[in-house]
Amino acid sequence: MSTHSTDQAEVFMYRVEEKIRALLRDYSDGKLNSEQFHVIYERYANQRLLAQQAMLTGDAQVLADTGDGLSTLTIKDEHMGKALGLRIYHHHSGACIETMGEFEVSAFIVSPVLTEFRYQLSIGQLIRPRVEKLKERRWLLFSAEPHTTVVTQFRNEPSPLQIREVQRLHHDFEVANQTCLSDRIPDPKALAYPLRTFVQRKVKK
């Protein structure tokens, strides 16, 4: 058994363990969605198995099989949630106030959730953001505030950080337009849209 090969394997193992710890922290901090986590964790777990094999056999050559031609950053970006578009619904009138970006979602999917949210608001119940898988690589995020619900369509699952960003911008939208949103039917042209920056930024990427 080659001591040099064993040392190489141990160094490689240490680096993989560091990457795994960083991945766990990123997921815990809400920086990754579950798909990103599972794809990258599987990659690191396979690398760890190869490192263990190299340490047991003293053959560092097996470490050459740890790459698949894709960087972890590429994998992370491929599975990252990207906002494609959103629609803002007014609770009191039931009207759609504004649509931004790509939003081709049937009313049969959105309406039941909006009805449920309006009922929860009427009884003073706290509404948490809801994330639902629409179809392959398409997800919907429902975010409710006192006057409106924002439905955002994502490619890939949104991460907790992205969900919190939508909530923050949605809250700013409600604060900025509080007077207009109190009207029975608000004038869309009279409203300010902090959420526009989120959709435009994501679409450009």
Question: Considering the chain, what percentage of its residues have pLDDT values greater than 70?
Answer: 85
Give the 3-state secondary structure of residue 86. Answer: strand
Q: Two tokens at 34?
A: 């579950």
Half-sphere CA count of 202, side-chain side, radius 13 A: 24
| Residues constituting the chain | 205
| Average pLDDT taken over every residue of the chain | 86
* 146 C-beta neighbours (distance < 10 Å), count: 12
Structure letter (DSSP) for residue 195: H
Q: How confident is the model at residue 197 (pLDDT cuts 50, 70, 90)?
A: confident
The 10s digit of each residue's pLDDT in 92-150 is 898 999 999 999 899 999 999 999 999 999 999 999 999 999 888 899 999 999 999 99
Question: Could you tell me the domains of the chain?
Answer: 3-78 (no CATH), 82-204 (3.30.450.50)
Nearest to 139 by CA among 162, 118, 120, 117: 162
What confidence score (pLDDT) does residue 5 get?
60
What confidence score (pLDDT) does residue 1 get?
44
Task: Report how far residue 195's alpha carbon sits from residue 205's, in angstroms, rounded to the nearest whole number.
Answer: 16
Q: How confident is the model at residue 43 (pLDDT cuts 50, 70, 90)?
A: confident
What confidence score (pLDDT) does residue 59 get?
58
pLDDT higher than 70, residue 86 = yes
Give the mean pLDDT of 62-82: 69
Which DSSP helix (H) or strand (E) runs through 21? helix 3-28
10 Å CB burial of residue 166 (0-12, 13-18, 19+) is buried
- Mean pLDDT lowest among 25-39, 70-84, 141-155: 70-84
How much is the pTM? Answer: 0.77
